[in-house]
């Protein structure tokens, strides 16, 4: 049996931040467990331009069902390596607007309002580099198209409002500024009381007298005297809790798992940014982007009284297929504009397919359970089609191929969107503050256990979520150490 003070399970965006901050401020032994490989010195992991070199074993290989009752055909990427999804992503890095954290506070996350969270943004920006995406001529066309439609060009590294512009990236040149790169590398220079164990999966949390005391792992039992810290992400943190006996009691019993504590909200209230694209074939192949094929974005505020933009676009210089059956295939080179609903209301769930961590979780996204999400996308895709007809875009585009001109009525747009809706890979809220954890991130009714990753989001936020995940993790270190300083 191995003993430490803090056992952190998951070395992704949140886990790496928490590990480093605890190591800087305590002397106790910390073990950071990551099921996947190390990212250090691996160009496929840390060079944004070489993302395509990541092979299947950098990912958990999950599939998700987009709509109620639909087969799980969406490739629901979840990184399996140190640095987690921030070594797997496109590095769009935007500070959430104040209204997002103020909404968390309204939902019971006391101490999480925008004013209180500002210091955590400061800590992140003192640690990582944020640069604006380079601008390929085709991305520039998208920005000019937005201006032609009456929008302002906006610097999204300074403000989040309606407009068009470039993504800020957590990157230094082509090198990712994921939390592993910025907070852990070089690993050999880390304080000696912080140990990073890669290729080591936790399979079960161990409890004694209602307290979490450690975990079973690929390297045996690890005991944590002070806290077990869950940082496995919004899919696997609830999975690990459920296989360990924390979750909806009836569901655990279905899989023969002894209930440690009935926590009905674990795995529930899964929120995600649902998107749907318009795809155009281009006259010529778009090549030569410098860092990543998603440089430009547009934010729109379509609903009266929306506290912040309700739509965010990813303009892709290529089409990345998310369905296994290639339903967005094109016969030539293509680009796509994929708007997502920023604070989508529909809630899905994560459930167990079996009693162990090796059993892939069931991910039901349940998109459009709330019809308002679909209505917003109908409005937006009509507008996106108009975007493709602007003077700025026309020289680039040969033809709209998805959905194509046959789709005209609202009913046809709805059918189309339901058939191609896709994720932006932003799951959160599956062990939310106020439902599963207290505002200081302790699991309700269980001593010695806290959660520090995207699972704890009290509601979905307006922008790409990684910056907020890191802010959560910075605050989590304060919560664990019992101070806000
Ligand atoms: C393809 C893709 C593109 C994205 N693009 C963007 C973007 O451009 N901008 C943005 O802001 N966000 C983006 N995101 C989302 C963002 O990267 C994630 O929301 C964020 O990284 C989640 O952080 P996390 O700490 O909650 O989980 P993760 O970063 O997923 O970390 C969880 C880690 O825990 C490990 N783990 C899980 N279970 C166990 C276990 N039992 N034992 C040991 N280890 C375990 C996993 O291997 C993983 O490394 C993207 C995500 C994906 C997948």
Convert 144-169 into a string of H (helix), E (strand) and C (coil): HHHHHCCCCECCCCCCCCCEEEECEE
Give long-range contacts, CB 8 A cutoff, 24+ apart: 204-210: 204/240, 204/243, 204/244, 204/357, 205/240, 205/241, 205/244, 205/246, 205/449, 206/244, 207/244, 207/245, 207/260, 207/446, 210/260, 210/261, 210/445, 210/446, 210/447
Q: What is the pLDDT of residue 320?
A: 83
3-state helix, strand, coil in the chain (%, to 5): 30, 25, 45
As a whole number of angstroms, the distance between CA 6 and CA 227 comes to 5
Strand partners, 350: 363
Please tell me whether residues 14 and 115 are part of one structural domain.
yes
pLDDT at 219: 97
Which token pair is 46?
Answer: 């840390």
User: Strand, helix or coil at 208?
Assistant: strand
Q: Give Cβ neighbours of residue 477 (< 8 Å, ≥ 6 apart).
A: 17, 18, 21, 22, 25
Query: Same domain for 16 and 83?
Result: yes
Instruction: For the beta carbon of residue 166, count every other beta carbon within 10 angstroms.
Output: 22
Tell me which of 17, 36, 45, 86 to substitute to probe ligand 1's pocket, judged by most ligand atoms within 8 Å of the beta carbon.
Answer: 86
pLDDT tier at 326, thresholds 50, 70, 90: confident
Does residue 65 sit within a domain?
Answer: no
Asked if the model's pLDDT at residue 484 lies above 70, the reply is: no
CA pair distance 448, 425, nearest whole angstrom: 30
Residues in contact with 261: Cβ distance below 8 Å, sequence separation at least 6, in sequence order:
210, 245, 246, 445, 446
Beta strand spans in 284-396 (E): 294-300, 311-316, 334-341, 349-351, 362-364
Tokens describing residue 373: 């999400």
pLDDT one-digit tens code per residue, 153-173: 999 999 999 999 999 999 999
Q: In a mutational test of the pocket of ligand 1, which residue from 40, 232, 239 has the highest number of ligand atoms less than 8 Å from its CB?
A: 232
The whole-number pLDDT of residue 85 equals: 98
Q: Whose CA is nearest to atom 6 of ligand 1?
A: 89
Mean pLDDT of the chain, nearest integer: 97
Cα–Cα–Cα angle for 248, 252, 255, nearest 5°?
A: 155
Reported as a single tens digit per residue, the pLDDT across 144-154 is: 999 999 999 99
Q: If you count them, how many residues does the chain have?
A: 485
Res 485 pLDDT > 50: no
pTM greater than 0.95 (yes/no): yes
- Of the residues 420, 443, 461, the one at which a domain ends: 420
Tell which residue, 162, 185, 182, 147, has the closest CA to residue 38.
Answer: 185
DSSP states of 410-451: HHHHHHHHHHH-EE-S--B-TT-BTTTB-TT-BBTT-BTEEE
Please indicate, yes or no, whether residues 397 and 454 belong to a single structural domain of this protein. Answer: no
| HSE-up of residue 100 (Cα within 13 Å, Cβ side) | 27
Distance CA 112, CA 128 (A): 22
Same domain, 120 and 237: yes
The residue-averaged pLDDT of 223-228 equals 98
Q: Give 200 Cα–ligand 1 centroid separation in angstroms.
A: 17
With respect to residue 348, please indicate whether it lies within any of the assigned structural domains: no
Confidence check: pLDDT of 334 > 60: yes
Q: Which percentage of the chain shows pLDDT scores above 70?
A: 99
Catalytic residue, chosen from 136, 185, 265, 426, is 426
- Is any ligand 1 atom within 6 A of the Cβ of residue 393? no
Q: Identify the residue whose tokens are 């002894």.
A: 258
pLDDT tens per residue across span 209-224: 999 999 999 999 999 9
Ligand 1 centroid to 157 CA: how many Å?
22
Are both 337 and 309 inside the same structural domain? yes
Query: Stretch 417-441: mean pLDDT, rounded?
Result: 97
Residue with tokens 């590095």: 91
Cβ proximity of 112 and 439 under 8 Å: yes
Point out the domain boundary residue: 420, 440, 461: 420
Q: What is the DSSP letter of 282?
A: E
Query: What's the structural domain count of the chain?
Result: 2
Percent of the chain clearing pLDDT 90 (strictly above): 97
Mean pLDDT score, 438-464: 98
**CA–CA separation, 35 vs 198, rounded Å?**
6
Check which CATH number belongs to the domain holding 312 and give it. 3.30.410.40
Residue 67, in any domain of the structure: no
pLDDT recorded at residue 182? 98
Distance from C-alpha of 210 to C-alpha of 229, rounded to nearest angstrom: 16
Please confirm, yes or no, whether 426 is among the known catalytic residues: yes
The CATH number assigned to the domain holding 441 equals 3.50.50.60
DSSP assignment of 67-94? STT----EE---B-BTTGGGGTS--B--
Which of 396, 420, 444 is where one domain is finished?
420
- Rg over CA atoms, the chain: 22
Q: Note the maximum CA span of the chain.
A: 69
In a domain, 93, yes or no: yes
Is 178 in contact with 170 (CB distance < 8 Å)? yes
**Residue 86: pLDDT above 60?**
yes
Q: Which domain holds residue 454?
A: 1-59+78-129+175-267+430-485
Cα(41) to centroid(ligand 1), Å: 19
122: number of Cβ within 10 Å: 12
Nearest residue by C-alpha to atom 49 in ligand 1: 84
Quick check: 242 and 264 in contact, CB under 8 A? no
- The per-residue pLDDT for 483 is 59
Clarify whether residues 108 and 123 are in a common domain. yes
Same domain, 222 and 155: no
Ligand 1 near 86 CB (within 6 A): yes
For residues 454 and 441, the answer to whether their CB atoms sit within 8 Å is: no
Same domain, 444 and 313: no
Instruction: Give the confidence band of 325 by pLDDT, cuts at 50, 70, 90.
Output: confident
| Digit-coded pLDDT (tens) for 92-141 | 999 999 999 999 999 999 999 999 999 999 999 999 999 998 899 999 99
| Å from CA of 471 to ligand 1 middle | 14
In a domain, 386, yes or no: yes
Q: In the prediction, which pLDDT does 248 show? A: 98
Report yes or no on 237 lying in a domain: yes
Question: 38 and 15, same structural domain?
Answer: yes
Other residues' Cβ atoms within 10 Å of the Cβ of residue 133: 24
Q: Which helix (H) or strand (E) holds 95?
A: none
84 alpha carbon – ligand 1 mean position (Å): 4
Mark whether 119 and 226 lie in a shared domain.
Answer: yes
473 CA closest ligand 1 atom index: 25
Q: Is residue 352 part of a domain?
A: no
| pLDDT on residue 446 | 97
Neighbours of 103 (CB within 10 A): 23
Residues 162 and 236 reside in one and the same domain: no
User: Are 179 and 307 found together in one domain?
Assistant: no
The tokens for 203 are: 């399979």
CA distance 393 to 18: 44
10 occurs within a structural domain: yes
Q: Is the CB of 77 under 6 A from ligand 1?
A: yes
Q: Each residue of 8-38: pLDDT tens digit?
A: 999 999 999 999 999 999 999 999 999 999 9
pLDDT 10s digits, 292-321: 999 999 999 999 999 999 999 999 999 888
Any atom of ligand 1 within 6 Å of the Cβ of 271: no
- Whether residue 472 is predicted with pLDDT greater than 90 in this model: the reply is yes
Return phi, psi of residue 122, to 5°: -60, -45
pLDDT band at 1 (very low <50, low <70, confident <90, very high): very high
For 228-285, the pLDDT digits (tens) are 999 999 999 999 999 999 999 999 999 999 999 999 999 999 999 999 999 999 999 9
């Amino acid at each position: 049996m191995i003993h430490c003070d803090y056992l952190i399970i998951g070395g992704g965006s949140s886990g790496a931040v928490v590990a480093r901050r605890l190591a800087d401020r305590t002397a106790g032994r910390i073990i950071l467990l990551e099921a996947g490989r190390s990212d250090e010195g691996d160009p496929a992991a840390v060079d944004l331009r070489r993302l395509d070199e990541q092979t299947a074993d950098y990912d958990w290989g999950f599939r998700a069902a987009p709509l109620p009752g639909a087969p799980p055909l969406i490739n629901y990427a979840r990184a399996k390596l140190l640095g987690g999804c921030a070594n797997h992503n496109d590095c769009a890095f935007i500070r959430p607007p104040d209204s997002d954290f103020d909404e968390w506070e309204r939902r019971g996350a006391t101490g999480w309002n925008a004013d209180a969270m500002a210091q955590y943004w400061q800590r992140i920006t003192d640690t990582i580099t944020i640069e604006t995406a380079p601008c390929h001529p085709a991305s520039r066309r998208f920005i000019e198209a937005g201006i032609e439609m009456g929008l302002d060009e906006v610097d999204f590294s300074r403000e989040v409002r309606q407009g068009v512009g470039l993504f800020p990236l957590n990157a230094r040149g082509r090198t990712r500024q994921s939390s592993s790169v910025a907070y852990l590398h070089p690993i050999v220079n880390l304080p000696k009381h912080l140990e990073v164990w890669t290729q080591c999966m936790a399979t079960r949390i161990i409890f004694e007298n209602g307290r979490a005391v450690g975990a079973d792992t690929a390297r045996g039992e690890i005991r944590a005297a002070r806290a077990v810290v869950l940082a496995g992400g919004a899919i696997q943190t609830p999975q690990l809790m459920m296989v360990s006996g924390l979750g909806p009691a009836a569901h655990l019993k279905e899989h023969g798992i002894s209930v440690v504590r009935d926590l009905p909200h674990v795995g529930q209230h899964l929120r995600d940014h649902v998107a749907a694209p318009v795809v155009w074939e281009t006259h010529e192949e778009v090549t030569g982007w410098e860092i990543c094929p998603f440089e430009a974005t547009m934010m729109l505020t379509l609903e009266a009284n929306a506290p912040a933009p309700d739509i965010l676009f990813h303009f892709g210089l290529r089409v990345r297929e998310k369905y296994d059956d290639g339903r967005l295939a094109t016969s030539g080179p293509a680009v796509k504009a994929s708007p997502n609903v920023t604070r989508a209301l529909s809630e899905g769930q994560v459930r167990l397919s079996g009693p162990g961590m090796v059993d892939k979780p069931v991910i039901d996204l349940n998109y459009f359970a709330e019809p308002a999400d679909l209505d917003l996308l109908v409005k937006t895709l009509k507008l996106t089609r108009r975007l493709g007809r602007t003077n700025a875009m026309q020289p680039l585009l040969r033809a709209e191929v998805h959905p194509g001109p046959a789709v005209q009525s609202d009913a046809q747009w709805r059918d189309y969107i339901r058939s191609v809706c896709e994720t932006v890979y932003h799951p959160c809220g599956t062990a939310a503050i106020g439902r599963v954890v207290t505002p200081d991130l302790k699991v309700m009714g269980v001593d010695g256990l806290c959660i520090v990753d995207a699972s704890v989001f009290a509601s979905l936020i307006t922008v790409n979520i990684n910056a907020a995940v890191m802010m959560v993790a910075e605050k989590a270190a304060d919560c664990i150490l019992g101070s806000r300083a």
